[in-house]
Chain A
Amino acid sequence: GIQVEQSPPDLILQEGANSTLRCNFSDSVNNLQWFHQNPWGQLINLFYIPSGTKQNGRLSATTVATERYSLLYISSSQTTDSGVYFCAVAIFPGTASKLTFGTGTRLQVTL
């Protein structure tokens, strides 16, 4: 099956710092989503981004499908950004909403 690797696995930042999270995948995809999992386990949809670049406030994401990677940028990090970030992909061809999750990046933002 498809392999989805995220880096770094763990990241500690001081508040206000910027960071880049990476998601590499091993096969062609027709969907890529980024999620933030909060301490209660809830998955927050950040981006639906099978290709291209999107921005939402302090967050932005870029997916280069032909090179099989996606990046999530967090600028001016806040303590509320702490949690685990997952990318998830759907294999092409196939059901775009049937996701394989990456290994995750655990982010801790300190004061």
Chain B
Amino acid sequence: GAVVSQHPSWVICKSGTSVKIECRSLDFQATTMFWYRQFPKQSLMLMATSNEGSKATYEQGVEKDKFLINHASLTLSTLTVTSAHPEDSSFYICSAPMKGKDTEAFFGQGTRLTVV
């Protein structure tokens, strides 16, 4: 149980284009999902909290117009990197706790984005 799946695992896109990353909870419902970013040789940093049925909450310094988050259902959150630039190249990973059980966080496998 508690499986979180991300898609795609890796993506290469051209500078100026937009990329959508999906995060799904496969065997449980999640009213909240979290998006993290990890640059090479660094730790993971929380970008935003995705809330089903309401707007996402962004951490300080994260551009909400650049990183669009949509929590469309109790099992799906999407992160869209708009007008991507090479500096957006990073590892993006999502997590979700089970609905009604705010304890352990379960992570997807991550998405490696390269902008060329």
Residue of B nearest to A95 (CB): B102
Most buried by A among B34, B45, B97, B104: B104
Inter-chain contact A103/B103, CB cutoff 8 Å:
no
* A97 lies within 8 A of chain B by Cβ: yes
B-side interface size class? 20 to 34
Inter-chain contact A41/B43, CB cutoff 8 Å:
no
Inter-chain contact B43/A102, CB cutoff 8 Å:
yes
A98 proximity list for chain B (CB < 8 A):
34, 46, 49, 105
Inter-chain contact B104/A33, CB cutoff 8 Å:
yes
Secondary structure type dominating chain B contacts: strand
- Expressed in whole angstroms, the Cα–Cα distance for A88 and B95 within the complex equals 13
Report B108 CB to chain A, min CB distance, Å: 9
- Expressed in whole angstroms, the Cα–Cα distance for A2 and B36 within the complex equals 17
Question: Which residues of chain A have a CB within 8 Å of any CB of chain B?
Answer: 31, 33, 35, 40-43, 45, 48, 86, 88, 95-104
Task: Please name 13 pairs of A and B residues whose Cβ atoms are closer than 8 Å in the assembled complex, sorted by A.
Answer: A35-B107, A40-B109, A41-B38, A41-B91, A42-B109, A45-B104, A86-B43, A88-B44, A96-B103, A98-B34, A98-B49, A98-B105, A101-B43
Leading 9 A-B pairs by shortest Cβ distance? A97-B97, A97-B105, A48-B104, A43-B107, A101-B44, A41-B110, A101-B43, A96-B102, A42-B109
